[in-house]
Chains A and B, each alone.
Chain A
Amino acid sequence: MKIEDKTVPIREAPTSEEIVIKIKDLRKCFGDNEVLKGFNMVLRKGENLVVMGKSGSGKSVMIKCLVGLMAPDSGIIEVLGKNIDQLDQMELDELRSDIGFLFQGSALYDSMTVRENLEFPMRRHRKKFEGITDTLPLVKEALENVGLAHTMDLMPSELSGGMKRRVALARAIILKPKLILYDEPTSGLDPITSKEIIELMRNIQHKYGTSALIITHDVDCARVISERMILLVDGINYAEGTFTELIGSQDPKVNAFFKK
């Protein structure tokens, strides 16, 4: 494998392959805290890309810039062929209906039932559901995908952490997105539940043919799900390759990720 340094452009995709996300020289700082210092990334269609980085390295910041929740200081972000920076609110919302987002802490609306949680994204993204008046079958399908059809009328507070994560996953896929962004899908879960979540992610990927960007610092998760990995170190895409390539690396900063 080869370690990218700042000056080397990241591996360009073959022209025949469709690019889903393209990030170029992304920079973001909070006050004196320079978090991203020129991050580059490409995600191709149908691919599972894992971005790994230490806690506080700016993974969540990066993924939030991707969907327009945070404005980067500079850099170019293209998602599904659209430059995020140049979209107005309507276009941005329309683009977002093609993106599923699983938040780090699940982020279920705690004043709503599971069913209302799942119906919420459908309120505005009606265009996608032209002619569908009954949302129940869709909610059911999404919940069945994560094996929680029986929780439909429960409140989030009545669910365990793992169940919440699964409901959040169901909510992320209810709009049948082309791209799913996972912010630490397994953080805070025990190894067995983590495995279940990863299994679900793979099933969904298989069933709907989505592309996925997975942010994690869970090595096991990365091993199972990644087709390609990027290590985020010191605010840049420090290294890139397959799991086996990276785990065999001699670079101490890369090695640090895989040491038990």
Chain B
Amino acid sequence: MKVRYAQLLLLFALLLGWGLLTDPRVPAFYFDNPDKAAFFFGEPLKVLGRLANWFVGGEIYPHLWVTLLETLLAFVLGTVGGIAMGLWLGLAPTAAAILDPYIKALNAMPRVILAPIFMVWFGLGMASKVALGITLVFFIVFFNVYQGVREVSPAVLANARMLGASQRQLLRHVYMPSALSWVFASLHNSVGLAFVGAVVGEYLGSAEGVGYLIHQAEGVFDINTVIAGILLLTLFALVLDGAVGWIESRLMVWQPHAGDTTQL
């Protein structure tokens, strides 16, 4: 609990510092004019006001809905694809050997660059953003599942075979659970990347979404709105990450934790 207090205190200190340093009434000590700090860094109260306005006025909901939907679609489709491909290549060494250099190349490629291509292919609507998010999420999950399948304990595998498991039962009862802990490790990264896909896509070209709002505000140097958009996205990324953590704690009860003993 002490940690929580310290965390809240730090948040207040940061907000206070930010507020003081950008307040036009405070004399400038770095910039040549007291308004400049607010121009570059925004003002916390105005950012809050912006957020309140969005929600009260209802202006934000359609944009937020679009961004969240893109993110969730990219996250789910990328994860499912990554798991399927990871399981397949993990279990098919020949295919894995053939595809190996291509996978390495695709993974090494800075895939955000694909955004313009996806715009050409899928238009300026949601599909191009989802596609970008999928390419980002897919590889993270895929590599983790692939690794997870290949690192299945040979003793556990042999034991399951001796207990009479068929090929399908091995997949269901050995490979999948074993890969699952690796999947969850990757999902926390994937949540952030799904957002990156959606927002970068919107930023580069669209007529809706939080990324679009940020792009618009940036065009008129409305830094408060830009920061409000960033905060909003961060918040939702945290919520989604929390949801993943919650599911993880449900599904992974069998995993040992470092601090398993209870203290008196």
Same assembly: no
